[in-house]
Amino acid sequence: MTITFRRALLALAVLPIAACSSPAETAAPAPTVTATATVTETVTPPAPQPTETVAEPTESAAPARTPQVSADVDKEDPISARIPKIKSAKFQYDEGHDFNQMSPSADGVLRGRIVSLDGDEARYVPVRYAGGDFVGPEGGMTYAAPIAPDVVFLSAVGCKGDDQTINSAALGTEKCPRERLLELAAQGEPTSLITVKSGQIVKVVEIYY
């Protein structure tokens, strides 16, 4: 009886030991979960800022000035090599000349007046006879040409301006130096028959009136 009790106690003691010493079930390793988080970042482009357009000041081109070509032009009296009528009521005709440019008149003899001088270049206009005087155009119709180094100048009042040196047509006959012509040209004189050749003034014959 005592043995049995001991065995029972031993069995009871061994049982928990056996239970503790029995190999435990190998737990399956927990699956490794790799969480890949895909973060999609949506980039919103910045709203276009209103651009302030600053208009650059534009320089308005000045309208081209069209010289007033007088209607008092005699197309039957073009500039040519012949001597024109002295006291004509109309200006001589210079076909195709562009008065927007300062340039010489056509080759030939022009009844005109030198109005100014810039160095050796003379500005001159055509003239017509009206009211007992020679008058120029109201606007435009201005020519420009250099005075040739060997220009011939025939004065109607002498080289000193104190004489009358003319022929029967009231045209000057006294030959004066180029310097005298330049002096008169700078003063806006004289009214003359102006001969142009190859773009240069080669002869000036003063008209006496």
Residue 64 and residue 101 in contact, taking contact as beta carbons nearer than 8 Å: no
pTM for this structure?
A: 0.67
Tokens 């017509």 found at: 128
- Could you tell me the sign of the dihedral formed by the alpha carbons of 152, 142, 200, 80, in that order? negative
Q: Which of 7-21, 76-90, 105-119 has the lowest mean pLDDT?
A: 7-21
Distance CA 28, CA 197 (A): 121
DSSP state at residue 54? -
Give the mean pLDDT of 41-60: 52
| β-pairing verdict for 133-135 and 191-197 | unpaired
Is the pLDDT reported for residue 61 higher than 70? no
- For residues 26-55, give the mean pLDDT: 49
User: Which burial class, exposed, middle or buried, applies to 45 when counting CB atoms under 10 A from its CB (0-12, 13-18, 19+)?
Assistant: exposed
Q: Is the peptide bond before 190 cis (omega within 30 degrees of 0)?
A: yes
Distance between start and end Cα atoms, the chain? 182
Cβ pair 134, 128 in contact under 8 A: yes
Give dist(CA 133, CA 115) in Å, integer. 16
Q: pLDDT-derived band of residue 39, with 50, 70 and 90 as boundaries?
A: very low
Residue of 120, 130, 124 lying closest to 112 (CA atoms): 124
Band (34; pLDDT cuts 50, 70, 90): very low
Percent of the chain with pLDDT over 70: 66
Residue 19 has pLDDT above 90, yes or no: no
Half-sphere exposure of residue 66: CA atoms within 13 angstroms, side-chain side:
2
Q: Give me 124's structure tokens.
A: 């001159």
Q: For 143-175, what is each residue's pLDDT tens digit?
A: 999 999 999 999 999 999 999 999 999 999 999
Determine phi and psi for 164, rounding to 5 degrees: -125, 110
